[in-house]
Amino acid sequence: MPDPHCLFCRIMRGELPSKKVYEDDHVYAFEDLHPKAPTHVLVIPKKHIVGLKEAEAADAEVIGRCHLVAAEIARQRNIENGYRTVLNVGPESGQSVFHFHVHLLGGRRLTWPPG
C-alpha cells in the first residue's frame, strides 16, 4: 500500500514530476534528480517497502524484479560492460528516502571502493 507522505509514492502517483524510464504493474523507474553518473536511474517497487531490512519473504519477487528491470535498462543504454546496482540501507549508508529503491549507475568508469 502506498504511503501518502512518501516522496517516491508521490512520484508514482504523479503528484511530483519525474522523468519516467520504465513502468509496469509492479515497478516504476525514473531518472535520479541529482545523478552521480551519466546513467543514474532509481528503480522502485510500487508497493511501499521502507527498505531492505524491513522487507519480508513476500517481497522477494518484487525486489528481484527491481534488479531485473535495472539490468534491462542497462542493456537498453548499452552500459552492459560496466554498471553498478546499489542499495542504501539505513541513514548511515546514505539512504534518505525510506522507500526501497535500487540505484542503477553507469555510463562512466566506476571505481572501488565506493563512498
- Catalytic positions are 101
Alpha helices in 51-105 (DSSP H): 60-76
Tell me: cis bond preceding 113? Omega within 30 of 0 counts.
yes
Dump strand ranges (E) for 39-95: 39-45, 83-86
Distance CA 38, CA 18 (A): 17
